[in-house]
Amino acid sequence: MDRYIEFILNHYILSLALAVVTYLLIQEAFDAAFKKFGEVSPLLAVAKMNDTDTLVIDVREPHEFIHSHIEHALNMPLGKLAEDLIKIADHKNKPVLIACQSGTRSASAGKVLTKAGFEQVFVITGGMQAWENEKFPVKVTSKNKLKPKPAA
């Protein structure tokens, strides 16, 4: 036991790094075990969209959403998601798919939705990057379509 203490005192940076990495691994394991939302691949997301009355929410910012998004997806940026939940309250018992650029923001949105009482929340793994890599269709909204054209 004395040798362990001596090692820790002589190599405190390594010991601290080991403690931090251990803590992060345990935290990740708890998060994975207790999360209340599921993850689906882009292929399973398409199957879900075809089979049921599924709502697709894109939690990216509007300037990202304009470049490409899943057809019929609602743009509800993550920062304003909690405020906008009233708009989708009628989907609490229906499947909800969440997409972002790479899948990171979707997990946070999944936590927000499950805390708000949504029962069937699914995050698209890999986000829009994975969606586009699978060559699934995307809708592109140009800025010109958002502005009315001047009369000639």
**Catalytic: 134?**
no
Decide if 77 contacts 118 (C-beta within 8 A): no
Overall size of the chain counted in residues? 152
Q: For residue 101, what is the DSSP state?
A: S
- How many other C-beta atoms are found inside a 10 Å radius of the C-beta of residue 146? 9
Single out the catalytic residue among 57, 98, 99, 100: 100
Decide if 77 contacts 60 (C-beta within 8 A): yes
Per DSSP bridges, beta strands 95-99 and 74-75 are unpaired
Largest CA distance in the chain: 88
Indicate which residues carry an active-site annotation.
100
